[in-house]
Structure 1
Amino acid sequence: MGAIFETIEHFYYNSQRHREQIIFSAQNLKRQLKSLGVNSYPINLLHRQSAYVQVDKFLGINNNESFYYPCVLNDVNFKDNNDDSDISGYRSDNGYAIGATKKEAVLHALNEVIERDSISKVLIRYGLGIYDDCDCWEVDKKTLPYNIRVLIGSIEATSGTEVRLIRIHNVYSIPTILCVSKGKKWKYPLYGAGTSLDLEYATIRAVTELLQLILLFGKEDQLLFERLDKQWKEYNLIKIMLRFEFLSNRPIRNWNYRKGKKFHKNVDGLIAEEVSKLKRCKRRTYVRDIYEGNGVYVVQVIVPGTELFNLILEGSVLLPCNYYGEQ
């Protein structure tokens, strides 16, 4: 069922329509972002600050506050003829997800944003050595629940690689788990990640995502690894980071897995708790409807100011958000 949902999600991403698209000036976009406390952002890459760009309209998850954001940052297939900048080389700090209900899709997308932000900050702090507001520990696999230990053991036996689990503590106090295969089978490690208020669910999601990547590893992945090699040939620090070698090179403490609080709340309660945790960190949350019909909902959630540096793992050439600088 998960595979079917993911296929449908990708289909609607690639065929989405920007229904509430309007033209917005770059200056208005910057003013809007600044009002949210976001001072450095890819929008600063516009060559002409007088430029106009096509934007999508988002609405606050808990209110009807409007938020406008460039289509080129929400949709990798979108071409904006108004814009002559490098902004299309970047992606937004957003999550794109499907669900059997709209709220289920919103929760999934929200967790995606937090997950990417958390991984990005680990790369920045431990990979680049630049302080950021996160911490991480390596999970002692012997302390994992039995069902997860069995799953990891099967992955290691099948792939011939060692699997490492990293518990990321983010500023939002929403658990994120990073699962990395560090064998010599690939030039760069494969990784899966999961985020949820339920720690066990986040762990299972990270482990199964890694398994999926191992089983589906193919020519496209090989080409990505070759591109990373060429891109960063002269930048050894970046290559060390991309290989997750900082997990061995830097002192990262061990962490005994402790079953967290089980969340029996309904989806409404989980969304409310996550939005509240983000709000305490001065992060606002917005949603845009992509598709509704045939028993599925597809949405896009954006949390302005969260980090997208994790895209360097996918071949993007970019700086951490805090280093875009204002123009």
Structure 2
Amino acid sequence: METQFKKIKITIGVGLFAFTMQSQQIGNGLATGVGDFTVPLLSGTYCALNPTGTLPENDWQHLFVVRHPNLNNNYQLQIASIISENDKLYFRKLAAGDATAVNPKWHELATRGKNNFIGDQTITGNVGIGTPNPSEKLEIYNSDTTPAVVSLKSKRNDLSFVDVGRISAKQESVEIARIGMPRAGGTYMGYLTFWTKADNNGDLTEKVRIAENGNVGIGTQRPTSKLTVAGDINSREVRVSVDAGADFVFEKDYNLPSLEFVDNYIKENKHLPQIASAIEMQNNGINLSEMNIKLLQKIEELTLYTIEQNTKINELQKENKRFSDIEKRLEQLEKVRK
């Protein structure tokens, strides 16, 4: 077959750039079959089934090549697509002599609903997802009733404690705060960590943790209760919910300890009955709810002791008055006898 050559002027516009080149139609103008997309190909169109240097998908592929006019090197701009998807395009640039020397990976052009971007991407201005007019550096809007979800995923799957994702705040190049999302080793249980730095020259340190079981730790990485605080707490008001009070002290069948028993117990143990000792409090801490009820119990017992003492005092006062009356009558009798 006689080979015919026809010069065609082609203008390609990609993004914000355009270029004009001279190419040739070879033979009948159909793509040439090749087995390797990384070899020094001449400018033109090619096709292959799973060639070397193939696209991410395995299929029949089309390749468009713009080759440097100097045949002693292998500078190429390649644009390719797979036959089975009409709206998916890739591009890459090959280097002189070695296809892996400069950017050998394929980069997907944003031409469809789903795109795969490889390498560093720089965007100047605000980014809007689901909105044409973003007012922040990143603004996400969902037009339907489902929530707008941002998902952070990590491929690492070993048994160590892995920071699956993080949100970092930086002043220039200095990280000043961080929210970490680690995974507990060997499990799919995750927790949250909040990091800050106290001074310009210091390092970020973890200040707050929400553990995988829901416990919250402030100043500690091992919260053992719903809220564990390693430090002081200043509050205008603290409300503690309790299951029961101490009013059982006022029931008729309550066995109020005698003051003699309390006196002997204090002399022997150096603390009140049913109240932990100072050493126990230092070693184990105190349950605020239980301690408040026990203190209220002791106050109510003290009230009963006071009432009992007041009753006895009133009785003694009455007896004293009787004795005083008798004494006065005796004095009068003595005066009569004289």
Instruction: Give the TM-score band, short-chain normalised.
Output: under 0.3
Structure with the larger RCO, 1 or 2 (CA within 8 Å, 6+ apart) = 1
State the structure with more CA Rg. 2
TM-score, structure 2 as length reference = 0.19
TM-score, structure 1 as length reference = 0.19
Which structure's residues are more often helix, by fraction? 1
